[in-house]
Amino acid sequence: MLQVCLNGARGPGDSAVVPMSPESLAESAARAVAAGAGEVRVHPRTPCGRTSLSPRVLTPVLAELRPAVSAVAGAPVPVTTVASAEPEPGRRVERIRSWTVLPDLVSVDWHEPGAGAVVAALLERGVGVEAALWSGTDGPERFAGSPPAPGVRRVLVRVTAAGSDGDPEAAARALIATLAVQPGLPVPAHAPPAPAHGLPVQVHGLPVLLHGEEDGAWPVLRLARRLGAGARIGLEDTLLLPDGTPARSNAELVTAALAYGRTGF
């Protein structure tokens, strides 16, 4: 499975091609799905560019995105509860409880304060959870120490630029070793489909999506392929194609990812 991450915390100051509005996000998503992405991740943004969990921001984004990705039957649209959107954990929980339209899957950064309360609030609403485990944080150790709650559907392993010590592939391998990733386990019924070349690696019986950022985006994507893990690419993670030239769109990054190493997802 290849996920496209449309925007993240980036904005026009980073690149003019980063989509921001619900309409531009939908257009970018449609083109990325047409290029071969199987899932679309988004950071809902206010008109001034701030990531937000407000239902007034989330609802129009989901309303635009869902029809745009309909070409991939059942393609989920994950969003994030990153603390920068709502630094106070109690307010994050309040926002989740106020949602009038529910996302398909929500990524929770396991190292952030209040992550447990956020997960509980999401599960109360019947929203699936993705456990986001960042290198350079205690999130992976917290997660590895105990089985996840029912309703956690996937593990996202993120190799950050700050947490890679200049060698993102080595950092990814060390993080995977910490998590005791296992290949070839039965896939839960709610998990995304396995890649064409084999069963996905798993943690606690859950499928893994592995990705890097900036200079580590492409090396970690290559490693994800080798391991049979899900992978992701998009303007959230990198503004550059593998040859170092600026990407003109999320779709161009997806096309490059599917051609990278000449093996498919």
**Mean pLDDT of the 16-40 span:** 95
The gap from C-alpha 184 to its chain's centroid, in whole angstroms, comes to: 22
- Phi, psi dihedrals of residue 105, rounded to the nearest 5°: -155, 140
Query: Tens digit of pLDDT for each residue in 210-237?
Result: 999 999 999 999 999 988 899 999 999 9
129 forms beta bridges with 106, 152
**Mean pLDDT of the 29-53 span:** 93
Separation of alpha carbons 56 and 49, rounded Å? 14
- CB-facing half-sphere around the CA of 120: CA atoms within 13 A: 8
**Mean pLDDT of the 172-199 span:** 55
Which of 24-38, 57-71, 160-174 is predicted least confidently?
A: 160-174
| pTM of the full structure | 0.89
Sign of CA dihedral 31, 36, 37, 38: positive
Sign of CA dihedral 201, 197, 79, 42: positive
Separation of alpha carbons 168 and 215, rounded Å? 8
Q: Does 28 have pLDDT greater than 90?
A: yes
